[in-house]
Amino acid sequence: MASKAIAKSPLRLLLNAEPFGFGPTAAIAGFFPHLRPHFDTIGYMGKKHTLDLQKSLPYDAIHDVTDTPKKNIAAPYADVFKDYDILFTAMDHKIAEEAQNAGLKVFYYDALAWYWPSIPPAVQHSDLYIAQNFFGVEQRLKDVFAAHADAHTVPPTAPRVAPRIGADMLRAKDHVLINLGGLQNPFWPLEDVIDYARAVITALRAAIPPSETIVIAGSEAVAKALHAEGVQTYPRKDMEDILARSKLAFMTSGLGNIYDAAAYDLPTIWLPPANDSQGQQLDLLAQNAMIDAALTWQDITKGEAIDYRADQQHVLSRIAATATRLCTDPQTQGRLTELAQTHFNGFADKNHSRTAIILDRFGNGGEEHVANLVINKARTYRRG
């Protein structure tokens, strides 16, 4: 029997991701394959490193708005919006507001609903609001979105991965992963990010035994600058294979990486937080006994702990200054190597991650849930 043809929506869908960290663009790249069969037209609108993971995907058009002036965005954005009916954004409330002003329907995916001090009006007034579950998210929706007709909590975007048990699978784990995705943000100059990434790679290479194969992942800008150091940007499909074959990982503590560590049951040593949300997420994991090990700024510098719940710009300034110290002070670099080596040696016989238990609480496979909500909501509209 022939399979039933998928009824495609005539509405033109524009995807977008906030240019802060790597999580928003990774989420959109994960949703795309589930959405592509259901829409005749899908475009992507983004800037800087949010384009990295989108370039290899079969969009009908990719709109690079990197060079759009910050104070005069309405006209150039409207020039893109005129060719679409729906904007589906991962956490860019400014673009959501501009799309609303241009008359588009706005669907909003929020991976950090638990984190925001306040929810912008453009987000509260979105036509579809989707929040990835995490500590405090369900209560946030009850408090802020109680009157919203289409506000939903979905499981994390962590993939559904079958347990890898047995000698064959253990032998298949053939490398150590260093994942530097999530370093870039608008408040940290790219050249400083690259210097920091280079310092971390140097310290970790000194800590990891020479017999180990190391795979290093990062954004396109970091990979281009540090190609000689072995840094590459991997499409999501390739990254899934890399995660499955990793025996141990050093990763930035973005929520996407946290859920990847959980889904692949991957023992993980978390790198120092690169922004305030990463620091808060590590604190929440530690409070709930869901952390394997962490390299903290306090331990590396022997200085004062950073309060990640303080004003964001203050926190990011503290992190940038501390990262500069790591890049310029041999003693601090040596301390990072010693701490990383101690943690690595302690993981020699570990095949599981404490972080995996987060899936028992919040579930996984959220990409399909998100796509279904978008598809079904789009079906309620007519073109024109």
Least confident range of 59-68, 71-80, 256-265, 287-296: 71-80
The type of residue at 143 is: D
* 303: in domain: yes
pLDDT, tens only, 200-232: 999 999 999 999 999 999 998 999 999 999 999
* 226: in domain: yes
In the block, residue with structure tokens 């990197």: 66
Residue 295 makes CB contacts below 8 A (sequence gap 6+) with: 250, 269, 270, 271, 272, 336, 339, 340, 343
- Predicted TM-score (pTM) of the model is 0.83
Whether residues 92 and 196 share a domain: the answer is no
Which residues of the chain form beta strands (DSSP E)? 13-17, 42-46, 61-64, 86-90, 105-110, 128-132, 151-154, 175-179, 214-217, 231-232, 246-251, 268-270, 293-294
Whether residues 193 and 296 share a domain: the answer is yes
Q: Which domain holds residue 38?
A: 13-157+365-378
pLDDT, tens only, 363-382: 988 999 999 999 999 999 98
Whether residues 173 and 284 share a domain: the answer is yes
The type of residue at 250 is: F
The type of residue at 218 is: G
Q: Identify whether the C-beta of residue 297 lies closer than 8 Å to the C-beta of residue 303.
A: yes
Whether residues 372 and 228 share a domain: the answer is no
Whether residues 147 and 174 share a domain: the answer is no
Q: HSE (CB half, 13 Å, CA atoms) of 148?
A: 23
Q: What is the pLDDT of residue 4?
A: 57
Which pair of structure tokens corresponds to residue 362? 């919040």
Q: What percent of the chain has pLDDT over 70?
A: 95
Could you give the angle at the alpha carbon of 136 between the alpha carbons of 131 and 139, nearest 5°? 80
Whether residues 278 and 347 share a domain: the answer is yes
In the block, residue with structure tokens 């101690």: 342
Whether residues 46 and 185 share a domain: the answer is no
* 341: in domain: yes
Which pair of structure tokens corresponds to residue 176? 């150590």
pLDDT exceeds cutoff 70 at 163 = no
Q: What is the pLDDT of residue 384?
A: 64
